[in-house]
Structure formats: C-alpha cells, structure tokens
Structure 1
Amino acid sequence: MTTARELPARTATPAPVRAAAVRSRRRRSEQWVAWAFLAPVVIYLLAFYAYPLYRNLDLSLRHYTVRSFVRGDAPFSGLDNYRTVVSDPTFWPALLHTVTFTGVSLVFQFTIGLTLAVFFTQHFRLAATLRALFLVPWLLPLIVSASTWSWLLNSDSGLVNAVLRAAGFDGVNWLTSPTWALTSVIIANIWIGIPFNLVVLYSGLQAIPDEIHEAAALDGASGWQRFWRVTFPLLRPVSAVVLLLGLVYTLKVFDLIWIMTKGGPTDSSTTFATWSYRFSFGNLLPQFGPGAAVGNLLIIMAMIFGLLYVRLQRRQLS
C-alpha cells in the first residue's frame, strides 16, 4: 500500500497558492454581491432615465406623425425639427419667458426662504408651529395650488382684486392680460418654492456652530456683519445645492402655468415646458418632433447649469 510520504510532491498545493486562490474567489464573490446591490439602481436608471432620454432624442431627429409614431417607421430628418423650433416666432419670447420665470423665481424664493430661515433660528415661542405652517404650500399638490391661485387672481371674483377695490384701486386682469400673466404665474411659483428653501437653509444654519457667532460678536462684529461675513460664507455649499435644485425644478414647471394661463394670452406666459406640451399634445395634429426638440433644449439648459455647479464645487474643494 502506498503511504502519504510516497505520493509525488507535485500533488500537494503550496499554502501560499491556496491562500491566493481563496482570496481571488472571495474578491469575485464580493464583486458579484456588489453588482447585485447595484443592479436595482442601474435597472431603474436605464429604464426611467436613459431610455426616455434616448427616445426623446430619437423623436427630435425624426419626422413623426401619429401614424408613423404608432407604426414606428418615421423617416430620419436630422436637425430639421430643431430648425423648425428656432425659426418659429414663439422661440425667442418663450426663451425669454423661461429665463425670466426661472431667474425671478429663484431670486425671490432664495431671498425670502433665507430671511425666514434666519428668523426661525431665534427659537421663539410657536416657532416650530409656524415652520410647520410654512410647509403647507410645499405639501399641497400642484393642481391644488394652481387652482387656488387661479381663484385668488380671478379678474371678477378673485380675492386679490376684491382687496384692491376695497382699498380704492382698480382691479387687475392678472390672468387675462398679456402684461400681467407672466407676473401672476411667477408670484404663484415663488409662493410654492419658499418652503423648500426655508427647510434646507434652516438645516444649514443649524449646522453652523454657535461658537463661531459668539467669537465674531466678541470681536465687535454687528449682527449684519456676522451674517454677511460669517454665516453666509459658511452657508455657501448648502445655498449652491438649493439654487441648483430650484433651477432644475423651475425650468420644468408646467402644471402651474398650464392650469393658470395655458401659456397665454397670446403666448405672454409661454415657456419651453408649456410650448413643448402644446407642440406634442395641444393640437389636433400633434408635432412630436418639434415638441421633443424643445424638451431637449430644456435638458441642455439644465445640464449646463449642473456642469457649472460641479465645476464650482471642484474649485472650492481644491
């Protein structure tokens, strides 16, 4: 009988080799586990972000009709839809309205939200209750908020005009006048966006240590100087996130404008969001290609500001 000593030496695997093989199998197992955890996120991003973006790009590069949309045989048209959009008389007014609506909304939402956040850091009685009440516009569905503002700004029976007439002023055609329509939807959007700015900026203020303010006060800094030279610079990262998220959200606001004015009268409150919808679904003969092209222009605008934000963050970190 052959003993273990008589077996060839090459049949015994060296211990370092076995350890390396075990480590390799363990690494592969950990990689598979990591991919298993990532799989739901990857599938979600592909299904609800990548594929819709691809379809929207495909729509903008083809000449779609209702028939070709159903059959899927629309001819390739290149950049013709983009040329149609840019040459349309509505393009430049819609671009101006989009920029104005977004810019004015962001400035007032951030300014009022920051003012309220600083106000609530005083920790007075009923502060928590008032903060909760300020969240109501943010919690309401947009269709409810838009309908409420449509009633408030109604030319004949609206509460705002009733107050103006009681004070001796003439009523304003808020929603039916080309002069006031864009202003009306901006006011409503500011009201909706203030709570988000308040909550996030208040959280940022709470994260600033009190010792910093106390040190600045001991150095003789006034209340305004403490805010401008200490609080506001420390709040800059949070402010950047608030402004970026507000920008992306405001660029795509559709429900509010469509319910209140439908982009009118005479396109005076038309933005890219409402214009894209009107191209695609607002006519008896929908124009899916131009509608998708306008949507892609909105995406490009949001991406540009997103990239600027990333670049600013990198500069601050470096």
Structure 2
Amino acid sequence: MVWPIVQGLWMSFTDESLTLSGTDFVGFDNYAEAFADPDVWSSLGNTVFFTVITVVPLVVVALAMALLVHSGLAGQWVWRLAFFAPYLLPVSVVTIVWSWLYQPDLGMANQALDKLGMEPIGWLSDEAFAMWSIAALTVWWTVGFNFLLYLAALQSIPDQLHEAAALDGAGAWRRLFSITLPQLNRTTALVAMLQVLASLKVFDQIYILTKGGPNNSTRPILEYIYDVGFTGYRLGYASAISYLFFALIIIISIAQLRFFPRQEG
C-alpha cells in the first residue's frame, strides 16, 4: 500500500509519459503547471458544484425516508426494500436506466413535459441541466445507504424519551425537534462526511453518461486526471494533479472532523 503511494508521489516530480522512453526529474514544475491550468480549476469547480447539490438532498431525503418508515408506516419491509434497492444496482445499470429516462424524444422526462405542454429539455446535452440531471440520478441511486444509517439510529433512540415528552404535553413536531433530531446529530455528521467525500470522488456516472460534456461542463477533477494521464499520456502531470486533489480531500476531512464534534454538544 505504501509503495504505490511513494511511487506515485515520485512520478509527480517527473515528466513520466506513456509515449516517452526516458524520464527526467522536473521538480515542482508539474505542480506549478497544475495551479496555472484553467482546466484544473474548471474541473475542480464542477466537482465542488456537484458535491454541493448532492450532499444536501442525500442527507435531507434520507432522513425524511427514515422518519417515514420509522413512524409505523404500513408495509415497512416493502418501503425499506424500495428505498434501499437502487443502492444495490451497479453503476452501468443505473446509467442505462437514466439515460433512457433522459432520452430527448422517447424519454419519460420529456414525455411528461410534453403532456404538460412544455418544450423538451436536453437533460444531458444542455449545460444548464446536465449536472443537475446527473445529481438527480446520484441521489436516487445512493440515498438508500444513508436511509439505512438513519433508520438504525432512529431505532436506537429509547422510547422512554418520547413517552416522557408526550406525558409532558409535547406534540409530534416538538418531539421531533427537541428529541429525535438532536439524538441524530452524530449520524448526520457521519452521513454528511461520507457523502462529501463520495461526491468529491465522482467519476463513473458522469463518464458513462456525458464523458464530461457538454463543453466540459460536467467534467469532474477525476475525469480530467484520467484524460491527462491516459489520453494525453502525461502520467507525471496527472500524478501531480492527483496529489493536489488528495491533499484537498485530507484538508476537507480534517475540517469536518474538527467541525462536527462541536455540533454534537
């Protein structure tokens, strides 16, 4: 495990290429180029935007789903299966289903708009909608994991707390905000941390659906690293970008670990 990390770090200081026989040490040139590369910043911006628009619904929707099932809804096992099942699907199946849903002419999304008398939308071909469309897919696909985490946390809250509050005259909404949600602070912190890290590392669904298009408007940083390394054959430069992104993830992880414990108290 250590050797690949060391080897990759060394490579980031060289001009390693798939098309060149020799390798020269270039110092921090790759890192300097990365900081000045507009494609790095645009791809990173796409990644951050995707993270922002997916993390919030992945937390809120998962919590709402768990509260709904935990409330004693009839057919709980059916709802649990329905909410969690998409998470079990491989990315290839998910993208095939949603690419059909987003088809310009025959897709269900545009057919629904047509029924409402609205113009069709290029869900994956229009820069204004492409990233939002992929975000919707991602939420549908992965929210089931967070749903299970929240449901397990809800089941661990002692019933006595709610019973005592009810005897004191607290209604359902007051019990939700004064008992349930505070008891879920640690779970919310965990879910948020996991989703931020997962969203920052997005690659598969975007690459399959749009390959970063249209006009690189959905290209995440990992896809740019892939393009630089395996399409542009510049392994050294790709390694440098990778380690800069790795450093960013470490910084974000440390910031989250320092922030969330303060919220639990």
TM-score (norm 1): 0.78
Deviates more, 1:285-294 or 1:133-142: 285-294
2:120 is the counterpart of 1:120: no
Aligned counterparts, 1:62-141, within 5 A: 62-68=14-20, 74-141=23-90
1:91 maps to a residue whose letter is: V
Q: Is the 8 A contact 1:176 1:265 kept in 2?
A: yes
State, as a whole percentage, how many aligned pairs show the same letter: 32
In 2: Cα distance, 1:265 partner to 1:223 partner: 47
2:206 is the counterpart of 1:257: yes
| Partner of residue 162, structure 1 | 111
SS at match of 1:84: helix
User: How far apart are 1:78 and its partner, in Å?
Assistant: 2.0
| Partner of residue 33, structure 1 | none
In 2: Cα distance, 1:261 partner to 1:206 partner: 40
1:145 maps to a residue whose letter is: V
SS at match of 2:24: coil
The number of equivalent residue pairs is: 265
Q: Is the 8 A contact 2:113 2:120 kept in 1?
A: yes
Q: Is the 8 A contact 2:165 2:175 kept in 1?
A: yes
2:5 is the counterpart of 1:56: no
State the structure with bigger RCO (CA 8 A, min sep 6), 1 or 2.
Answer: 2
TM-score (norm 2): 0.92
In 2: Cα distance, 1:101 partner to 1:201 partner: 23
User: How far apart are 1:315 and its partner, in Å?
Assistant: 5.1
Select the structure of larger CA radius of gyration: 1
Consecutive unaligned residues in structure 2, runs of 5 or more: none
1:51 maps to a residue whose letter is: W
Aligned counterparts, 1:7-46, within 5 A: none
1:229 to 168, 171, 178: 178
In 2: Cα distance, 1:290 partner to 1:217 partner: 62
In 2: Cα distance, 1:263 partner to 1:125 partner: 43
State the superposition RMSD in angstroms.
Answer: 2.0
In 1: Cα distance, 2:174 partner to 2:264 partner: 25
Consecutive unaligned residues in structure 1, runs of 5 or more: 1-46
| Partner of residue 303, structure 1 | 250
In 1: Cα distance, 2:260 partner to 2:55 partner: 20
SS at match of 2:236: helix
| Partner of residue 171, structure 1 | 120
2:233 maps to a residue whose letter is: P
- Pair 217,98 (structure 1): closer, same or farther in 2 beyond 3 Å: same
Q: Which runs of 4+ in 1 moved over 3 A?
A: 312-318
User: How far apart are 1:160 and its partner, in Å?
Assistant: 0.8
Encode CA deviations 1:274-311: one digit per residue, 9 max, x unaligned: 11111112x2x412122222322332222122212333
2:102 is the counterpart of 1:150: no
In 1: Cα distance, 2:106 partner to 2:260 partner: 49
